[in-house]
């Protein structure tokens, strides 16, 4: 109601409330490369489009005189009480999304500390990316008591894997999110056409560069005579080559980048390997990237504590099914397999509170917000992330009121057209 009252008295929101205008505004301020990197997906963008289109096929049933004048958005996830069923999705290489803000007053020491400041106000968990732009310890400092999870791309190096998991435990992570849909980077056509694969230029490496095991791998690689990587590495700019020191820096970056590309995600893994991660930590492990009931079942059978239904925002496999279309059957399969049921989280396509409501109605226990918070960050730092979060939650609250759901637990398939029976 605060947002409405402010609006009625002529105050504009910090960032646009409409998702399309939010994206357009953010695209307009970000560098061209950043806009392409954040907004676009794989191939012909068909999965990106499908993720959004799927929401238009589900219609919410308005209900009248239901007495839902007060709503309760709280929920419990992995034993923790949350203010709402919403988390901040892991997003890597965010140096890019804030690059244009460099020099702006009060901004930014790093993208994730801005996110963390917003999350500290909403209390909603942050899933810290393996590809964060600052080390996870710095994100944790900025989070204070706010819940944090750690997202892992499972490296080829067992030592590096162990080290990252230990660090996640040390910063008080509630869970490890194992992202399994990135055994190889997707075919990112816009990035390719702009000659810009962020990681190949050294962005999103902070988590690794701050890791002693990674530095060992990188030093060993630098000592080898010729890099065997088929990836050419970042092209040195003329300015970068103008002094001997920067030439050395360029070589070091190149060694780090090559090491990262070598190790960041082990493509040989199978479900049986999940047991090794299970042995490494007592933290719950959630598998992110699940799009079929079979994979959800396999994840649970191999020790996962829950699944995240996600297709990486359409950035990995083009022409894939919409993530929302994958959700109902997975939610059913997980409920059939586990009592009380293991958490089913959802992302890829959530733009509004109404979207969150539909995902919850189709069986998600909570949803992850991805690109919209990045747009908020790009536009207005922590204030922008906070505003975007408030907008999504305000609309979820209003949607619950108009659909007759007083609590998150009240939301179900009965709220959607065609499922009344
Ligand atoms: C991502 N995503 C992602 N996922 C992950 O597990 N680790 C990561 O480092 C990243 N990095 C990343 C960067 C950018 C720019 C985007 C947009 C996304 C995927 C992310 O967690 C989430 O699954 C998607 O963002 C969901 O799709 P929408 O709702 O943003 O379209």
Q: What is the CATH number of domain 2-194+267-415?
A: 3.20.20.70
What pLDDT is stored for residue 421 in this prediction? 47
What pLDDT is stored for residue 280 in this prediction? 97
Please state the atom number of ligand 1 nearest to the C-alpha of residue 97: 15
What are the tens digits of pLDDT across the range 107-137? 556 899 999 999 999 999 999 999 999 999 9
CA distance 334 to 296: 7
Q: What's the pTM? A: 0.95
The residue from 58, 312, 386, 391 that is catalytic is 312
CA distance 112 to 105: 17
What pLDDT is stored for residue 118 in this prediction? 98
- The residues, ordered by sequence, that sit 6+ positions from 91 with a Cβ below 8 Å of its Cβ are 38, 97, 129, 370, 373, 374
- Cα-to-centroid distance, 312 and ligand 1 (Å): 5
Residue 344 near residue 368, CB atoms below 8 Å: no
What are the tens digits of pLDDT across the range 33-91? 999 999 999 999 999 999 999 999 999 999 999 999 999 999 999 999 999 999 999 99
Residue 152 near residue 176, CB atoms below 8 Å: yes
Of 7-16, 319-328, 341-350, the least confident: 7-16
Give me the mean pLDDT over the 143-170 stretch: 97
Ligand 1 pocket test, pick from 19, 47, 178, 312 with the greatest ligand atom count within 8 Å of Cβ, gives: 312
Query: Taking all residues of the chain, what is their mean pLDDT, rounded to a whole number?
Result: 92
312 is catalytic: yes
Using a pLDDT cut of 90, give the percent of the chain over it: 80
- Cα-to-centroid distance, 370 and ligand 1 (Å): 6
Which residue spans within 95-198 are E strands per DSSP? 126-128, 148-152, 176-179
Q: Where in the chain is the domain with CATH 3.20.20.70?
A: 2-194+267-415
- Residue nearest ligand 1's atom 3 by CA: 91
- Cα-to-centroid distance, 206 and ligand 1 (Å): 17
Tokens of 80: 């923790």
- Cα-to-centroid distance, 365 and ligand 1 (Å): 19
CA distance 25 to 12: 14
DSSP string, 232-280: --PPPPTTTTSSHHHHHHHHHHHHHHHHHHHHSS-TT--GGGHHHHHHH
- 348 CB near ligand 1 (under 6 Å): yes
CA distance 141 to 235: 35
- 310 CB near ligand 1 (under 6 Å): yes
Phi-psi region of 357 (alpha: psi -120 to 50; beta: other; left: phi over 0): alpha
What letters, b where the CB count within 10 A reaches 16 and e where it falls short, cover 99-136?
Answer: bebeeeeebbebbbbbbbbbbbebebbbbbbbbbbbbb
Q: Residue 386: pLDDT band by 50, 70, 90 thresholds?
A: very high
What are the tens digits of pLDDT across the range 21-33? 999 999 999 999 9
Q: Is the confidence at residue 20, as pLDDT, over 50? A: yes
Cis-peptide, bond into residue 138, ω within 30° of zero: no
Tokens of 372: 């919209």
What pLDDT is stored for residue 369 in this prediction? 98
Please state the atom number of ligand 1 nearest to the C-alpha of residue 349: 29
Please state the atom number of ligand 1 nearest to the C-alpha of residue 179: 6
Of the candidates 126, 95, 96, the one whose C-alpha atom is nearest the C-alpha of residue 110 is: 95
What pLDDT is stored for residue 275 in this prediction? 94
Give me the mean pLDDT over the 346-372 stretch: 98
Q: Is the confidence at residue 207, as pLDDT, over 60? A: yes
- 370 CB near ligand 1 (under 6 Å): yes
What are the tens digits of pLDDT across the range 247-300? 677 777 888 989 998 888 999 999 999 999 999 999 999 999 999 999 999 999
Ligand 1 pocket test, pick from 45, 89, 352, 371 with the greatest ligand atom count within 8 Å of Cβ, gives: 89
Q: Is the confidence at residue 308, as pLDDT, over 90? A: yes
């Amino acid at each position: 109601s605060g947002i409405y009252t402010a609006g009625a008295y002529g105050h504009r929101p910090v960032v646009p409330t409409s998702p399309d205008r939010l994206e357009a505004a953010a695209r307009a301020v970000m560098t061209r490369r950043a806009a392409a990197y954040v907004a676009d997906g794989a191939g012909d963008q068909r999965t990106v489009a499908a993720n959004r289109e799927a929401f238009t096929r589900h219609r919410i049933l308005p209900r009248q005189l239901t007495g839902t004048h007060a709503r309760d958005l709280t929920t419990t996830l992995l034993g923790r009480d949350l203010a709402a069923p919403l988390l901040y999705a892991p997003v890597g290489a965010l140096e890019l999304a804030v690059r244009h803000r460099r020099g702006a007053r009060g901004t930014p020491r790093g993208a994730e500390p801005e996110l963390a400041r917003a999350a500290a106000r909403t209390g909603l968990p942050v899933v810290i990316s393996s590809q964060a732009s600052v080390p996870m310890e710095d994100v944790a400092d900025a989070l204070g008591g706010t819940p944090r999870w750690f997202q892992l791309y499972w490296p080829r190096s067992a030592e590096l894997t162990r080290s990252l998991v230990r660090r996640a435990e040390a910063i008080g992570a509630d869970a490890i999110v194992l992202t399994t849909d990135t055994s190889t980077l997707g075919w990112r056509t816009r990035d390719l056409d702009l000659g810009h694969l962020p990681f190949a230029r050294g962005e999103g490496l902070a988590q690794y560069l701050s890791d002693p095991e990674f530095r060992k791998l990188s030093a060993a690689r630098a000592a080898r005579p010729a890099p065997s990587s088929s990836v050419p590495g970042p092209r040195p700019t003329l300015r970068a080559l103008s002094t001997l020191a920067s030439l050395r820096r360029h070589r070091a970056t190149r060694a780090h980048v090559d090491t990262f590309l070598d190790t960041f995600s082990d493509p040989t893994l199978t479900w049986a390997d999940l047991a090794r991660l299970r042995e490494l930590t007592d933290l719950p492990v959630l598998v992110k990237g699940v799009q079929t009931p079979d994979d959800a079942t396999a994840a649970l059978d191999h020790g996962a504590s829950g699944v995240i239904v996600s297709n990486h925002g359409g950035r990995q496999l083009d022409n894939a099914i919409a993530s929302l279309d994958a959700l109902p059957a997975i939610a059913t399969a997980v409920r059939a397999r586990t009592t009380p049921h293991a958490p089913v989280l959802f992302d890829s396509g959530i733009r509004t509170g109404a979207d969150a409501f539909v995902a919850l109605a189709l069986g998600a226990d909570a949803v992850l917000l991805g690109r919209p918070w990045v747009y908020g960050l790009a536009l207005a730092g922590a204030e922008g992330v906070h505003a975007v979060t408030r907008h999504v939650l305000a609309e979820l609250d209003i949607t619950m009121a108009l659909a007759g759901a007083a609590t998150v637990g009240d939301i179900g398939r009965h709220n959607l057209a065609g499922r009344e029976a």
